[in-house]
Structure 1
Amino acid sequence: MSEHGDQVPGYRMIRMEALPDAPAAALADVEAWQARKAYPNVLGGGGPVFGVAEELETGGWQIISLFSSSYPQGSRDTLAMTFRERARDAGDAGDTAAQQEWQRNAERLDWEALNELTVLGRRFRIVRGDQFIRMGPTGPEPPRPSDPDPAKVGHGHEYRGRTKGFVIDPFTPTGMSEGILRMELLSLVQAPGTAPSAVRKDSLRAVETHPGGVLLPAEFTAAEFSDGHWAPRQMTNASPQGSRDTLTTYLRVMAPVMEKLDDETRAEYGRLADRIDDERCDEIVIDGCRTRIVRVERLVRVGPDGPESPRPSDPDPELPTAVQEEQLREEGVFDEYRVLNEEETEQRRVAEEQAKEFLRLFEEQRRRREAAEEA
């Protein structure tokens, strides 16, 4: 099935097919349809996210990184690291020419903010994705029963998710519910007055330049209801347990130090973290505010030349690593003989004390979880 019949380009097609031979996929499609009723509104889920993709000879673009950078530069740094890894592999294989080519392009990324490179005939691109959350009368949509959640408590970071290795190819068949959601999301643009003019202009342009799209595997975050609205309080994770673990780490480790909690509040936060661990619950009240593990949909727009790159209006405040290092050296940050002033000395002392406390609380949490697993 497609928007305008069978003669439209592949990147504009949305092929919806029943999935009778895939029970898990069929169940996920049913849950997605049910979510349309319980959480009928689709809202922006924060700013864009970025990842790295490599064009495949067989068609489509394969994601070769985690798709979680808030700014394009984070993905450029990941691409430079990928090139260095391939340079090492080429060197181990005795291919000196390939090793030098990979290394040369890695060093180029250290100095230049590039969103696409071709190396040894292979195309690589920094890819942009939009985030969305379903909202209903009770708030944002929590994880669905069919969402993978295999990690044990405290081991959410070990589940790397389904995004790395995912192929961005609009021609791949999808279930009915996902296909309808793709059509809904592809039609969304920034409404007048909801974003700066440059952001809205880029949003409108993307509908023309990249009219197709693909949904990435969903991710998860913790959102807090405060001052009459829901807002995310952490980066996304590949699984609900990853978000629960991030939340309990905040309660046991980060908040006591960063917020300078008193002993009573520390104890209360610890009890909340214990409850999250024991019940693997997806909603809890912290300081009178509802906090919920929320499902985040992510859409990559696709045009005739592949997935969308960063837009001109996307925040991109970070510098390439070599440029940043050069600036810091000019400012004397790396001068080991520079005498710190009184304010800098105090800042360093406070930072060292915080680091020691973080390490102590991390170790305390690790021992607690190891004891729970043994029990």
Structure 2
Amino acid sequence: MAEQGDHGDSGDRTARQDDVPAYRTIRVTALEQPVAALADVEAWRARDTYPDIRFAGGPVFGVAREREEGGWELHPYFCGLTPQDARDSLGSHFRMLAREAERAGDGVAREAAAWAVERMDREPLDELTVRGDRYRVVRAERFIRTGPDGPEPPRPTDLDPGEVGRAREVPDPTAGFVVDPVNATGMSEGILKLELLGGLRPKDSVPPEVRADALRAAETHPGGVLLPATFMTAEYEEGRWRPESSGISTTPQDSRDGLALALRVMMPWQLGLGPEAQREYARAADRLDAERADELEVAGRRFRTVRVERLVRIGADGPEGPRPSDPDPDPPPGVHAEQLRAQGLLDDDEDEPLELDEQTQELARRFEEEALRRRKLLGEA
């Protein structure tokens, strides 16, 4: 499917479409794999049940490496809430490469990786080439579908292999995903991409610089690729659904595990609940574990696991990086450490443990109790 705006007779139009860059096209094909075909059917049905598309909070950021054969391969955990989160992840990748090179006795590779670590520790770099490999911090916008019944929950074809309490052990579906507009999609995904690429936040809902960056991105990065969905927990209150989590859970069970932990630990602590109310929240968490449900009610509160779409914009030079207006409050780790030392908040020679206030100690105790309960349940203690 070529971009909108072609004119003229069919022969001229076909010739021009052949010259259209891949990043300005949406390739649609019939899906041969049964699961992929079923997923495309479910996506089409979702258009009827959840017809509205809304932005789901701010963007997320991850790391990609350009491939010689085309496209950009994503690193695991495309879930940074700021560009610096992704830069820190890239710095960790270079540290791993340096250790591997040292074990292998490859001094040249170790030196190159150490050079990259030093730069990532000191500079807010969104792109770096190391030994011919080009890395980039990549930006994805997030969306949810919603309808009269509220936001869309997970679909039956969404991968959900993790056991209760162990969903974090499941490999990230995004790891190794190739961002390449040449790859064809099903009809439903192709239409969704076209809709999302045209999405723009209402004028009065964001600062002028945010809207200006979005309009500029539509020109510089007119194409797009959908990543595997992520999931969040939302709560229904005061007549609307509000996000209860960050929306970066890689599977539905990962999101449920996060809600169960909140019900057993965070919410009782935050609300100062008494023993009976705490038991009510714990029983609700037990039901969630047993039923793996996508919706839960407890103490008059209603929670739902919500499906989140992610779109990476594509331009002539590949996927879009961070925008100037994206919040990016944290400096690189080396710079941050120097700032803390200058403020007297970091002492490299200090051996004494950090003293926690009574309230924080209580929270730590609750987490320890929950961790022990989990280990016993899983037969690990």
Q: 1:252, 1:365 within 8 Å by CA — same for their partners in 2?
A: no
| Separation (CA, whole Å) in 2 of partners of 1:353 and 1:39 | 42
CA-CA distance at 1:349 after TM superposition: 4.3
Per-residue CA shift, 1:259-312, capped at 9, x if unaligned? 322112101101110111111110112342321000000000000000000000
Number of aligned positions between the proteins? 366
Q: Secondary structure at the match of 2:329?
A: coil
**Deviation readout 1:187-221 (Å, 9 max, x if unpaired):** 11222111110110001111000000000000111
SS at 2:283 equivalent: helix
The residue type equivalent to 1:198 in the other structure is E
| Shift in CA distance, 110/254, structure 1 to aligned 2, threshold 3 Å | same
Letter in 1 for 2:311: L
CA distance in 2, matches of 1:350, 1:275: 28
Q: For residues 110 and 228 of structure 1, what CA distance do their matches in structure 2 show?
A: 45
Aligned twin of 2:295 = 283
Letter in structure 1 aligned against 2:336 = Q
Q: Quick check: 1:81 aligned with 2:92?
A: yes
Residue 363 (structure 2) aligned to one of 354, 358, 362: 354
1:100-135: CA deviations, max 9, x gaps? 111111111111111001111111000000000000
Secondary structure of 1:193's partner? helix
Aligned residue type for 2:116? N
| Aligned residue type for 1:110 | D
The residue number in structure 2 matching 1:239 is 251
| Amino acid aligned to 1:247 | L
Partners in 2 of 1:259 and 1:111 — Cα distance?
41
Aligned to 1:181: 192
Partner of 2:14: none
Q: For residue 354 of structure 1, report the CA deviation from its aligned partner.
A: 2.9
Alignment match, 1:221:
232
* The one of 49, 57, 67 aligned to 2:68: 57
Instruction: Name the CA shift for 1:94/1:211 in 2 (closer, same or farther; >3 Å).
Output: same
1:337 Cα offset (Å): 9.1
Output aligned runs, 1:29-108, within 5 Å: 29-108=40-119
C-alpha RMSD of the superposition: 2.0
Matched, 1:201 2:212: yes
Residue 373 of structure 2 corresponds to residue 364 of structure 1: yes
Between stretches 22-31 and 351-360, larger displacement belongs to 351-360
* C-alpha displacement of 1:64: 1.3
CA distance in 2, matches of 1:254, 1:59: 45
Q: Show the counterpart of 2:168.
A: 157
Counterpart in 2 of 1:2? Answer: 2
Paired residue type of 2:220: T
Counterpart position of 2:11 = none
One-letter amino acid of the structure 2 residue matched with residue 123 of structure 1: R
Contact in 1 for aligned 2:165/2:374 (Cα 8 Å): no
For 2:18 and 2:348, how far apart are their aligned partners in 1?
A: 66
Are residues 349 and 270 of structure 1, via their aligned partners in 2, closer, same or farther at CA, if it must alter by over 3 Å? closer
Deviates more, 1:62-71 or 1:4-13: 4-13
Shift of residue 52, structure 1, vs aligned partner: 0.3
Aligned partners of 2:67, 2:253: CA distance in 1, in Å?
Answer: 32
Q: Deviations over 1:195-251 (max 9, x none)?
A: 110110001111000000000000111111112221211122111111111100111
Residue 147 (1) aligns with residue 133 (2): no
* 2:265–2:363 contact (8 Å) kept in structure 1: no
Residue identity over aligned pairs, in percent, reads 51
> Is residue 110–residue 322 contact of structure 1 (8 Å, CA) maintained in 2?
yes
Shift in Å at residue 328 of structure 1? Answer: 1.0
**Structure 2: any 5+ residue segments left out of the alignment?**
7-16
Aligned to 2:142: 131
Structure 1 unaligned segments of length 5 or more: list them. none
Partners of 1:219 and 1:295 within 8 A in 2 = yes
Q: Structure 2: how far apart are the matches of 1:352 and 1:328?
A: 24
Residue range with higher mean Cα deviation, 355-364 or 116-125: 355-364
SS in 2 for 1:329: helix
Q: Please say if residues 53 and 65 of structure 1, whose CA atoms lie closer than 8 Å, have aligned partners that are also in contact.
A: no
SS in structure 2 of the partner of residue 6 of structure 1: helix
Query: What is the CA–CA distance in structure 2 between the aligned matches of 1:270 and 1:349, rounded to whole Å?
Result: 23
Offset, 1:76: 0.5
Tell me, in whole angstroms, the C-alpha distance in 1 between the residues paired with 2:26 and 2:213.
Answer: 23
Using the TM superposition, name which of 297-306 and 90-99 deviates more: 90-99
Answering whether residue 24 of structure 2 is matched by residue 12 of structure 1, we say yes
Q: Which moved more, 1:278-287 or 1:133-142?
A: 278-287
Instruction: Tell me, yes or no, if the aligned pair for 1:65 and 1:78 is still in contact at 8 Å.
Output: no
TM-score by length of 1: 0.93
Alignment CA distance shift 1:336-1:60 (3 Å)? closer
